[in-house]
Amino acid sequence: MSATSPTPYPHPASWPADRLLADCDLRFTRRSGPGGQNRNKVETAVVLTHLPSGVVAEANERRSQQENRQMALYRLRLQLALWEGFEPAEPTPQPPSDLWRSRYRGGKLNVSTAHADFPPLLAEALVTVRQTGHDVKQAAEHLACTSSQLVRFLAQEPAALVQVNRQRAARGLGRLQGS
């Protein structure tokens, strides 16, 4: 299952592209920098704004508008995964999603940070951590992995580990060490 196929997990980072884009303002613009005259004459930069959250993502490093659109969509999913304003329908942690279970093999969560599945998995991990009051051991149990595996996964996106540590500190909990 990939981030582009339907999933029962309700986080916007896991929605299919068409569903997510329906909630977005999509703008094409020009950006300066390397890329020659084509870059300055053609609106290849893509800016996506997720209207319900206000989260913005942009891509302008490619000369192709389509490639920039795909990168902006990936970045939007990643920013939505980190968005602290998401309120899950269920206040308690849910069993791992089909996507999580499909990626958890051999005792390890196997996904590259560049893969389309990374943002929805990160969102699922962060929401589960929040739902357990930032008790990483309890969150890991809900996700059917170990605490160290969960922390290693969160550490793949430094902003996620910073967010969790900030929230843990606010609750008087110890800091997690990423590896």
- Going along the chain from its start, the domains and CATH numbers come out as 12-82 (3.30.160.20), 98-170 (no CATH)
What is the pLDDT, as a whole number, of residue 26? 92
What is the pLDDT, as a whole number, of residue 6? 37
What is the pLDDT, as a whole number, of residue 177? 86
What is the pLDDT, as a whole number, of residue 4? 39
What is the pLDDT, as a whole number, of residue 165? 95
pLDDT tens, position by position, 146-165 = 999 999 999 999 999 999 99
What is each CA distance from 14 to 34, 67, 69, 99, in whole angstroms?
A: 33, 20, 17, 9
Q: Calculate the average pLDDT of the chain.
A: 86
**Whole-structure pTM value:** 0.85
Mean pLDDT by 10 residues, the chain (179 residues): 44 92 90 55 84 94 87 96 88 89 85 93 95 94 92 94 95 85
Evaluate whether 107 touches 150 at the Cβ level (below 8 Å). Answer: no
